[in-house]
Structure 1
């Protein structure tokens, strides 16, 4: 039973960190390296709490995290993503099985479209010049919270 409480505490910590990421990205268009590092550093505790074996499961989690980071780092190099967003996605990929990471990415894309439309509309209503900066960390955080919550909400279905 104490393992269950530890997993719940880690889920709560990740949820709080995601909320902080969304708020700071919305306010200042910044997701701090410290926050991303904390999310990544808590992932191995999550693996241990879930009883993942070192081989192959923990190795697969690392591979998924590196693959997601690499893919989005390429998008960063093209100027399509912010650096904090890329690091947040890489850190989050360490927490979820690859199937859930795919769900997170699809949901993030849909929510990112909504955030982009809202940001552009706000930018135009305020008659601001230049290109608006999209707080994509909001979409990433909401998608991750959704995927995280599914673990608990689906048990009632």
Structure 2
């Protein structure tokens, strides 16, 4: 693995961890972090395959932003989650969209299982409007985990 590849991978890992921690603690993912991850992801696409790579990575980010904002509009996602999803998608060409979605969905399923189990053990209702943001599922966690798994799968062994 080249030094540039390690720099890109480290940037993605750090960005995902920061977003996951922020979402878990405050239920928000900073716009600046999403913007930086998006730009570096697009730069990664350009570094990998030139203008064609940039185009495919940008297309994936655009599709992901549309999906994320649709999920936000129907209140299944927070706005930060939609932007974080687009930023994560920028790291992969459009052709890897289903793979990224698969790993995000699997991580989300695991998070939902853990979330409901912990809340049940704590004697708290699984869904409530009275507890505020702390009762909301931090969906940035499966987004980050799914992104890191997808990225790791494309690395040479």
For this structure pair, what is the TM-score category when the shorter chain's length is used for normalisation?
0.7 to 0.9
Q: What is the alpha-carbon distance in structure 2 between the residues aligned to residue 38 and residue 53 of structure 1?
A: 20
* Residue 73 (structure 1) aligned with residue 69 (structure 2): yes
Structure-2-length-normalised TM-score:
0.86
* Residue 108 (structure 1) aligned with residue 104 (structure 2): yes
Mapping of 1:62-141 within 5 angstroms?
62-129=58-125, 130=128, 132-141=135-144
* Residue 18 (structure 1) aligned with residue 16 (structure 2): yes
Q: What is the alpha-carbon distance in structure 1 between the residues aligned to residue 116 and residue 102 of structure 2?
A: 21
C-alpha change, 1:146 and 1:111, in structure 2 (3 Å) is same
Q: 2:36 maps to which residue?
A: 38
| 8 Å CA contact retained: 1:7, 1:49 | no
* 79-88 or 95-104, which deviates more: 95-104
| Aligned positions, number | 150
* Unaligned stretches of 5+ residues in structure 1: none
C-alpha change, 1:46 and 1:93, in structure 2 (3 Å) is same
Q: What is the alpha-carbon distance in structure 2 between the residues aligned to residue 48 and residue 111 of structure 1?
A: 28
- Report deviation, 1:134: 0.7
Structure-1-length-normalised TM-score:
0.86
* Residue 53 (structure 1) aligned with residue 50 (structure 2): yes
| 8 Å CA contact retained: 2:43, 2:54 | no
- Report deviation, 1:36: 0.6
* 107-116 or 121-130, which deviates more: 121-130
Q: What is the alpha-carbon distance in structure 2 between the residues aligned to residue 140 and residue 62 of structure 1?
A: 18
